C-alpha cells in the first residue's frame, strides 16, 4: 500500500503501524554523548551492553513483574530480530507453531523461513478477537513446538487478558511448548485493560521467550533496538542465531536505549494519551459509517481491524486498492494478516487527528 500510495496525490495515510512522533530529545542526546565519547565505533558484547541489560532487568521487574537477571537478556535489532532468532533457535523443520488469526504477518513468515509450519487458529471475533482456547487445544499435534502471539495485537488491537494467558500457559506446560511473545505495544493499553506478560507466571520460567522493543514505546523505529528475555539455558541457543543475523545490536542505539530507560518516562505517557485520544476520534468517525464498517474498539496498540460490511469487501486487497485510487485513503488489507483477515481492513491511528478526519471525510463522501 505504501508503494501504491506514492502513485496517488495527497493520500490520507492510515497504513503504517509506526509512530509518527520523533524520538524524544533526551534519548537522542544520550546517543550523541556516546558518539562524542567515542563509545560506539566497535561491537558490544553479543548479548548487549551489560549496563543496558541491567536497566532492562529493572524495567522487567517494575513493569512486567518478571524476575530476571542480565544473563537472561539478549539485546536485539528491534523486536523483529529477537523474534526471528528465537524462532530459528526453537523451531526445527516441520515443527508446528500455533498462532492466532489474524496476527502480525511477520510472525507467520518467521515460522516459514525456519522451515516450520504455521498453524493458524481463528480468533473469536465476536468477543473482540480473543484467543479461542478450545481451538488451540484442538490444534495441538505431536509436532507442535510453540505458540506465538502479540499482545496488544497487531492488527486487531486486542489485549489478551490475564485469564486467557493463564489458560494458554497451562496448555503450554501440559504439552511442553514454548510461548514466544511479541509485546511491542505493551505500554499502549486503554480503558482499564492491563498488559500481562506470560513470563511473569513463575512456572513458565523455562517455557517463554518474551520479545520487547524500544520502537513503539519511545518512538525509536529507525534505531532498530529491542531485547528479549528467556531462561539462561535458552539464551546461548538463541545467541547462535543472533550472531549470524546481527553480531550485536547497533551500539549507538544501545546507548540511546539506555538513555530511554534511565530518563524520564513522561514521553511514554504522552504517546499513550495521544493514541487513546486518536482511537476515540477514529471510533467516533467509524460510528458514522456503520452501514459500511463494523468494529471492535481496540483495547490497546494503535491499530484497529474493522469488518467491511459491503460485498465488495470480501476481497480486502481489491477493496483497499479501490479505496486508495477512488477515495485517496490508504489502509491495509486484512488478508495480509491471515485468511480470517479477509473482509477486514487495518486502520492505524498513530497519526494526527487531522489525518484521521481527512481520511474519514473522504470515505464519508465516497460511500454516500
Ligand X SMILES: Cc1ncc(COP(=O)(O)O)c(C=O)c1O
Residue 367 CB, shortest distance to ligand X, in Å, is 28
Considering only residues 137 to 156 of the shown chain, the ones binding ligand X according to CB under 6 A are 150, 154
Taking CB under 6 A as the binding criterion, the range among 74-82, 168-176, 241-249, 328-336 that sits at the site for ligand X is 74-82
Residue position matching grid coordinates 497519526: 351
Residue bearing cell 493499553? 189
Which segment (72-80, 130-138, 236-244, 284-292) binds ligand X by CB under 6 A?
Answer: 72-80
- 1, 79, 169, 208: which one binds ligand X (CB under 6 A): 79
Nearer residue to ligand X within complex by CB, 184 or 327: 184
**Residues sharing a CB contact under 8 Å with residue 298, sequence separation 6 or more, in sequence order:** 152, 156, 157, 158, 190, 279, 304, 305
Give yes or no for residue 184 binding ligand X (CB under 6 A). Answer: yes
- Helices 78-90/235-246 angle, 10° precision: 120
**Per-residue binder mask for ligand X (CB under 6 A), 242-281, x = binder:** ----------------------------------------
100 is written with which cell numbers? 492466532
Minimum Å gap between C-beta 258 and ligand X is 16
In terms of phi and psi (left: phi > 0; alpha: psi -120 to 50; beta: otherwise), the region of 242 is alpha
- Residue 274 or 328: the one with the smaller Cβ distance to ligand X is 274
Instruction: Using the minimum distance from each CB to ligand X, give the nearer residue, 178 or 215.
Output: 215
Number of residues that bind ligand X (CB under 6 A): 13
- Identified binder of ligand X from the candidate list 132, 182, 186, 355, rule CB under 6 A: 182
- Interface pattern 213-242 for ligand X (x via CB under 6 A): x-x-----x----x----------------
Strands (E), the chain: 12-13, 73-76, 96-101, 117-122, 144-150, 178-182, 208-213, 226-229, 293-294, 303-304, 307-308, 329-330, 332-333, 345-348
Nearer to ligand X among residue 158 and residue 316 (C-beta): 158
Q: Which of residues 12-31 bind ligand X (CB under 6 A)?
A: 17
Q: Which residue is nearest to ligand X (CB)?
A: 78
Q: Residue 148: helix, strand or coil by DSSP?
A: strand
CA 57 remoteness from chain centre: 21
For 100, 104, 146, 260, 368, the CA distances from 181, given in Å and listed in that order, are 12, 12, 10, 22, 42
104 or 255: CB nearest ligand X: 104
| CA distance linking residue 225 with residue 329, whole number of Å | 31
Please state whether the peptide bond connecting residue 260 to the residue before it is cis, i.e. omega within 30 degrees of 0. no
User: Taking CA 362 as the corner, what is the angle to CA 359 and CA 365, rounded to the nearest 5 degrees?
Assistant: 150
Nearer to ligand X by Cβ, of 81 and 355: the residue is 81
* CB nearer to ligand X: pick between 154 and 342: 154
Q: Which string of x and - marks every residue 96-135 that binds ligand X (by CB under 6 A)?
A: --------x-------------------------------
How far apart are the C-alpha atoms of 334 and 53, rounded to whole Å? Answer: 37
Q: Provide the binding-site residues for ligand X, judged by CB under 6 A.
A: 17, 78-80, 104, 150, 154, 182, 184, 213, 215, 221, 226
Amino acid at each position: 500500500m505504501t508503494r501504491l500510495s506514492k502513485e496517488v496525490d495527497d493520500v490520507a495515510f492510515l497504513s503504517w503501524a509506526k509512530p509518527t512522533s520523533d524520538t524524544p530529545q533526551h534519548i537522542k542526546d544520550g546517543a550523541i554523548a556516546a558518539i562524542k565519547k567515542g563509545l560506539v565505533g566497535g561491537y558490544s558484547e553479543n548479548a548487549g551492553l551489560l549496563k543496558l541489560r541491567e536497566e532492562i532487568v529493572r524495567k522487567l521487574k517494575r513493569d512486567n513483574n518478571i524476575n530476571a537477571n542480565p544473563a537472561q537478556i539478549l539485546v536485539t535489532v528491534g523486536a523483529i530480530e529477537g523474534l526471528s532468532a528465537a524462532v530459528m533457535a526453537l523451531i526445527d523443520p516441520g515443527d508446528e507453531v500455533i498462532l492466532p488469526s489474524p496476527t502480525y504477518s511477520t510472525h507467520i513468515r518467521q515460522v516459514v523461513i525456519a522451515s516450520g509450519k504455521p498453524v493458524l487458529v481463528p480468533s473469536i471475533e465476536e468477543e473482540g478477537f480473543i484467543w479461542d482456547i478450545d481451538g488451540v487445544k484442538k490444534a495441538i499435534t505431536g509436532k507442535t513446538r510453540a505458540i506465538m502471539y502479540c499482545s496488544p495485537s497487531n492488527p486487531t488491537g486486542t489485549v489478551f487478558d490475564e485469564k486467557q494467558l493463564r489458560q494458554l500457559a497451562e496448555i503450554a506446560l501440559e504439552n511442553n511448548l514454548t510461548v514466544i511473545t511479541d509485546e511491542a505495544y505493551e505500554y499502549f493499553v486503554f480503558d482499564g485493560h492491563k498488559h500481562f506478560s506470560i513470563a511473569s507466571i513463575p512456572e513458565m520460567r523455562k517455557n517463554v521467550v518474551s520479545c520487547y522493543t524500544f520502537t513503539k514505546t519511545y518512538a525509536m523505529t529507525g534505531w532498530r533496538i529491542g531485547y528479549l528475555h528467556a531462561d539462561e539455558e535458552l539464551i546461548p541457543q538463541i545467541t547462535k542465531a543472533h550472531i549470524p543475523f546481527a553480531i550485536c545490536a547497533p551500539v549507538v542505539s544501545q546507548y540511546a536505549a539506555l538513555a530511554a530507560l534511565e530518563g524520564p518516562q513522561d514521553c511514554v505517557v504522552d504517546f499513550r494519551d495521544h493514541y487513546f485520544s486518536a482511537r476515540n476520534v477514529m471510533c467516533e468517525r467509524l460510528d458514522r459509517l456503520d452501514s459500511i464498517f463494523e468494529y471492535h474498539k481496540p483495547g490497546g496498540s494503535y491499530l484497529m481491524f474493522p469488518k467491511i460490511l459491503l460485498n465488495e469487501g470480501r476481497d480486502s486487497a481489491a477493496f483497499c486498492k479501490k479505496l486508495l485510487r477512488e477515495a485517496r485513503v490508504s489502509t491495509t488489507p486484512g488478508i495480509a494478516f491471515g485468511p480470517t483477515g479477509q473482509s477486514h481492513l487495518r486502520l492505524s491511528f498513530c497519526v494526527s487527528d487531522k489525518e484521521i478526519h481527512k481520511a474519514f471525510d473522504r470515505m464519508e463522501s465516497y460511500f454516500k
